[in-house]
Structure 1
Amino acid sequence: MNFLSQTIAAKPEPDWAALLALPIAESHDPLVPLGLVNSPLRSYPAYFHQGVPNALSECYVRRCVLFRLYKAARLLPSGIELVVLDGWRPLLVQQYLFDSLFAAMNAHYANDSESELLNRTRRFIAPPSNEPTAPSPHLTGGSVDVALCDVEGLFLDMGTEFDDISPWSYSAAFEAVEKPSAREAEVIENRRLLHSVMIQAGFTNLPSEWWHFDYGNQSWAWSSKSSEAQLGAIELQPLRQRWRRQVAL
């Protein structure tokens, strides 16, 4: 077995309070668009194509994240490419996603307390926050949602769709299948491949989402046992704002 087919270990949920208490030493690395990126790294802004309000038609990540995405993509076998589905998110998009999932949880688990509903929701969507000391991971530009495709642009079978909220979305879920079918065996190998190249490139993975990886932010710092994060909340600067700042210089 080579490093591209390593078993994905089941891991517990992060200690969110301790995670959000980690200090941030902002690196000021800029956001960069992925629209001009060439094979073997592709971008497909999933929320824009799904019609999510205020979703961007372009995927953005911090520059240091892009370099690591390139590294991960170049580790993939010939014929398989890395697809970025989402990176930096506006606060309004984070709010919409959180509110939508919280409402679904509330409708199904009507007897749960608000704190229980919050815990169920945050396994898949972080509460919206652009607070300097505790931002939502995707608002830092350090979180990416990724998948794999072939050279024709067809997604490989990862076991669930992106943003699925079933137990099968946990990264290690299929590792527990004792006698996998042919299809399940393919899913296991695809997840191992994605997980392996992203970890080799320096990312960490959110255990509840096979597609979610972090670099530089508080989630990454917690999982990698770093004493501090490098990436805090960041915003795309509109042209009008940039011009006003430059005129004032």
Structure 2
Amino acid sequence: MNIFNNKMIPERPMPDWNKYQATPIHESSDPLVPVSVSKKVGVYPAYYKMNVANAVPECYVRAQVFERLLHAASLLPEDIQLVVLDGWRPFSVQQYLFDTLIDLIRQANTYLSHEQVELEARNLVSPPSANPRAPSPHLTGGSVDVTLADLDGRFLDMGTLFDEASPLSWTCALERKNRDPKEQQARDNRRLLYSAMSKAGFTNLPSEWWHYDYGNQLWAYHSGADAAAYGAVTLPGIDQLWQNQLTTHAASR
């Protein structure tokens, strides 16, 4: 089903960080699942491919996020595929990305105060937080970074690279008039991605055309939900799986 109607992407402000982090979390215990098992959604774990320390070679998301990704993919034209670049993110990776960006912004803008540097960094990377009441969005498994590609695996032009530190990375940045044909095509690609993801129930972070949320505090903030369903989560090891299974088995006796 092709939902592409070339609607403009609306201009939206960045979230009120204090307000969104105050959103209550009613954990649903929705498990993390690997996206690469699907034949309908492409996977390219970008940070692992870029050799970021502790990045995982798979893109994991909550089970309901996975279902909504499948729905978004089904809304695209038959010759275009949805590609997941990142999902659940280890805390150490979040820490590395934020610290690295902070240092680079500070070096390039020596006149900025510490608060201004951090505010600038937030446009691209959320501060690392394992606080149960306000975890980093990607730590919840409810955030996903996505793009589009053709069926042969060629990434479509989205106007900037993934994670590019540029004002043009804002989702609506290409909506200004008088764009040349190449920029118009990138704009249309963004519109297509935005439309499919929105219709599948995701919300978008205004400063990143690739970042979408479902179920976490950012999603609750942008969608108007009373509470989030996803807090911080970790990949379960075999010991945790066995413990949960044995505990459940013992309780059923």
TM-score, scaled to structure 2 = 0.94
Asked whether the equivalents of residues 4 and 197 of structure 1 are also in contact (C-alpha less than 8 Å), the reply is no
Give the unaligned 5+ runs of structure 2: none
Superposed CA RMSD: 1.2
Tell me the equivalent position of 2:193: 194
Once residues 197 and 62 of structure 2 are traced to their aligned partners in structure 1, the CA distance between those partners, rounded to angstroms, is 16
**SS state of the match for residue 162, structure 2?**
coil
Asked whether the equivalents of residues 61 and 142 of structure 1 are also in contact (C-alpha less than 8 Å), the reply is yes
Tell me the equivalent position of 2:114: 114
The alpha-carbon deviation at position 146 of structure 1 amounts to 0.1
Once residues 175 and 16 of structure 1 are traced to their aligned partners in structure 2, the CA distance between those partners, rounded to angstroms, is 25
Asked whether the equivalents of residues 4 and 76 of structure 2 are also in contact (C-alpha less than 8 Å), the reply is no
How do residues 95-110 of structure 1 correspond to structure 2 at under 5 angstroms? Answer: 95-110=95-110
Tell me the equivalent position of 2:43: 43
How do residues 25-64 of structure 1 correspond to structure 2 at under 5 angstroms? Answer: 25-39=26-40, 41-64=41-64
Once residues 3 and 96 of structure 1 are traced to their aligned partners in structure 2, the CA distance between those partners, rounded to angstroms, is 37
**SS state of the match for residue 156, structure 2?**
coil
Give the unaligned 5+ runs of structure 1: none
**SS state of the match for residue 229, structure 1?**
coil
Is 1:220 aligned to residue 219 of structure 2? yes
Percent identity between the two aligned chains: 50
Higher deviation after alignment, 3-12 or 193-202: 3-12
Asked whether the equivalents of residues 206 and 212 of structure 1 are also in contact (C-alpha less than 8 Å), the reply is yes
Tell me the equivalent position of 1:24: 25
The alpha-carbon deviation at position 246 of structure 1 amounts to 4.7
Counterpart of 1:37 in structure 2: which amino acid? Answer: S
Once residues 125 and 14 of structure 1 are traced to their aligned partners in structure 2, the CA distance between those partners, rounded to angstroms, is 13
Once residues 240 and 208 of structure 1 are traced to their aligned partners in structure 2, the CA distance between those partners, rounded to angstroms, is 39
Deviations 1:156-188 (CA, angstroms, capped at 9, x unpaired):
000000000100000000101x21111011011
**SS state of the match for residue 226, structure 1?**
coil
How do residues 69-148 of structure 1 correspond to structure 2 at under 5 angstroms? Answer: 69-148=69-148
Counterpart of 2:61 in structure 1: which amino acid? Answer: V
Aligned pair count reads 246
**SS state of the match for residue 5, structure 1?**
coil
Counterpart of 2:27 in structure 1: which amino acid? Answer: E
Counterpart of 1:205 in structure 2: which amino acid? Answer: N
Once residues 210 and 99 of structure 1 are traced to their aligned partners in structure 2, the CA distance between those partners, rounded to angstroms, is 22
Tell me the equivalent position of 2:238: 239
The alpha-carbon deviation at position 85 of structure 1 amounts to 0.2
Counterpart of 1:27 in structure 2: which amino acid? Answer: S
